[in-house]
Structure 1
Amino acid sequence: MSKGPGSGPLPRTPGSRKPIPRSFSCLSDLDPRPCRPPGCDPRLRPIIQRCARSLPSSPERRAPGAACGAGCNRQLRVRFADALGLELAQVKVFNAGDDPSVPLHVLSRLAINSDLCCSSQELEFTLQCLVPDFPPPIEASNFGDCLARQLVCLERVTCSDLGISGTVRVRNVAFEKQVVVRYTFSGWRSAHEAVARWRGPAGAEGSEDIFAFSFPVPPFLLELGSQVHFAVRYRVAGAEYWDNNGGRDYSLTCRSHALHMPRGECEESWIHFI
């Protein structure tokens, strides 16, 4: 007997039945593992917390359980310097006679600043500086003859707030050589020496060498009339040669130097210095 419609279950045809939407009631539905009561909430992991504290001393590091525990209830220690045998404070005592040494260029610029405040159109400054008592030897017409005769000659000298510097030319007699400038601030009652440094070759095919020297000037030489005397010594191949300006020595004298400058130009230079 054949069954009519509605008398029995209909035959299932592939694709004839749609899947029922499924709602995820808990996160465990996404996990193949069984749901965890209550509420099917995922298990929370505690966050590891560390307590920040000062670096312990060596005995505390070696002691068991030195690491910070869960509650971090360790009491912090405060150590003072005197407990470790140190001083709590350092005291510097200044005497009344210990006046600061102010460089000349600072004093000069302070004088310029004061003149800028109360001056008219043109500014005039008076500076005290060391001035050579001789013209630059290298500009002399007989410089080459002098160098050939005594094998060492001073080229030029410059003076600044840092001291005295210059260059010396010597004949390249041998590879090993030494150039020294001997100078005095007391009229040769006492003397000092400054070793010159090799700067480079000169002349035809390196037949000559150039040396550079410099030495500081004490503050008391910035008084009017103070002098510096010096001479150049050249040692090479077991011999010694001198350049002492023909027996008169090279000298520099502290003199006053007047400087005239327009106010606007001086103000711009002072602002540039700042």
Structure 2
Amino acid sequence: MATTEMEITDWSSSCTSSGIGSCTLTPTTPSPTESPLDTYFLFPPPPDSSKTVKRASSLRLGQTTEKESSHKKLVRFADCLGLDLVDVKTFILDSLPLIPPRAYVDLDLPPLEIISPPSSLLLLPTFPQPSTLPNFTDLLHTQKIKLASCTADSLTITGVIKVVNLSFEKAVYLRYSYNQWLDFGELQCTYAPHEHTPLIDTFSFCLPLPHPTTHPSPWTTFTFALRYTTPTQTYWDNNTTLNYTFHLL
């Protein structure tokens, strides 16, 4: 039987730079070691390694970038620096700041009540301190009661009284007036147990005075006398009939 030789033409591929899969076929003669069928299977060239896309990897937990670490905030407490955690400031009436009314123009607030600070008042006594008198002891034993000292701090009168110990039951009163005895009031004095001797007892008083403008009748003079009572007798100290007087300045 006659054999028929079949001429197989091989086509080689020549890929252009236009991209993968764009090829031009040219006929070639197959080599003796190649199978004729192998020449008909075309494979694209390997991709360019410089254009290979790498998969992005996420940052691990706890990692920060250089930009983030440069903006990281640092917190320190005041006590770490030797300072107090709490700063308390106490304001008193005389040190309150003076805020101008224009600062409240844009605020929906009720009308402000302007309160003037109380002016300092001076009460001047018309008598010397009795305990400094050379005859103080003689007057005490004669009258049985005698004012020892008296001072005025703004509108508060304080004083110390000495009485002869005539009875266990006793009481001492301060009788005072703002209008030269047209009317008067009384204040019971306080016994001072730590300031006594077997013959002399000590009493004290503290009387806040009303403001001259708020009193029912404005006053400029404060007058007082002392009364000492026992179960059998009453004694007075009225500064030898002159009374004890303070003038308001």
**TM-score, length of structure 2 as denominator length:** 0.49
Structure 1 or 2, whichever has the larger Rg, is: 2
Q: Which has the higher helix share?
A: 1
**TM-score, length of structure 1 as denominator length:** 0.45
